Amino acid sequence: MASDCIFCRIASGAIPASLVYQDEHVVAFPDVHPQAPTHVLVVPRKHIGSLAELDDADLAGKLLLAVAEVARRGGVAERGFRTIINTGAEGGQTVPHLHFHLLAGRKFAEGSLGE
Ligand code: 5GP
Ligand code: ZN
C-alpha cells in the first residue's frame, strides 16, 4: 500500500469508509462528491496508478465483475448504469489509484462520451 494514497488508505481501513462491496482483491465505496444518485468507486486493494499501468488480466476481470456485482446489489443493474475510467491528466484523472466510477439513478445522454 502507498501510505500517501487516499484510496490505498481507504482499502486498508486506515481511513474509515462505508464499503458497499469488498473481497480479497477489490473494494467499493461511495464517491465523496457524487455526480449521480448512485456514484460508487470500485478500486483494487493493490496500488495501481491508473489503467495505463494495469497488466494483470485476472485482476482486470475481477474489477469488472465487481462493478457488475455492485450494480446488482445497488439495485441499478436492470435500469442501467454508466461506468467510467479516467486515465492520466488529459483523461481527467485526479486520484492516482486505478478506479472505476459506477454512476446510476439518472438518465445519461445516449451516446455521450463527455466533453
Ligand atoms: P477521477 O477524477 O480521478 O476519475 O475521480 C476521483 C474521484 O474520487 C472523484 O469523483 C472524487 O470525488 C473522489 N474522491 C476524491 N477523494 C475522495 C475521498 O477521500 N473519498 C471518496 N469516497 N472519494 C474521493
Ligand atoms: Zn493507492
Q: Dump pLDDT digits (tens) for 24-39.
A: 999 999 999 999 999 9
- Under the banding of pLDDT at 50, 70 and 90, the label for residue 47 is very high
Q: How far apart are CA 38 and CA 77, in angstroms?
A: 11
Answer whether residue 75 is part of any domain. Answer: yes
Answer whether residue 66 is part of any domain. Answer: yes
Q: Is residue 33 flagged as an active site residue?
A: no
Torsion of CA 97, 5, 58, 39, to 10 degrees: -60
Ligand 1, pocket residues at CB < 6 Å:
6, 29-33, 41, 86, 92-95
Q: Give the CATH number of the domain where residue 68 resides.
A: 3.30.428.10
Answer whether residue 25 is part of any domain. Answer: yes
Contact 90, 55 (CB under 8 A): no
Find where cell 468507486 sits: 41
Atom of ligand 1 at shortest distance to CA of 30? 22
Answer whether residue 93 is part of any domain. Answer: yes
Count the domains in the chain: 1
Q: What are phi and psi of 3, to 5 degrees?
A: -70, -15
Domain range for residue 86?
A: 6-104
One-letter amino acid for residue 54 of the chain: L
Give the predicted TM-score (pTM) of the model: 0.96
Answer whether residue 68 is part of any domain. Answer: yes
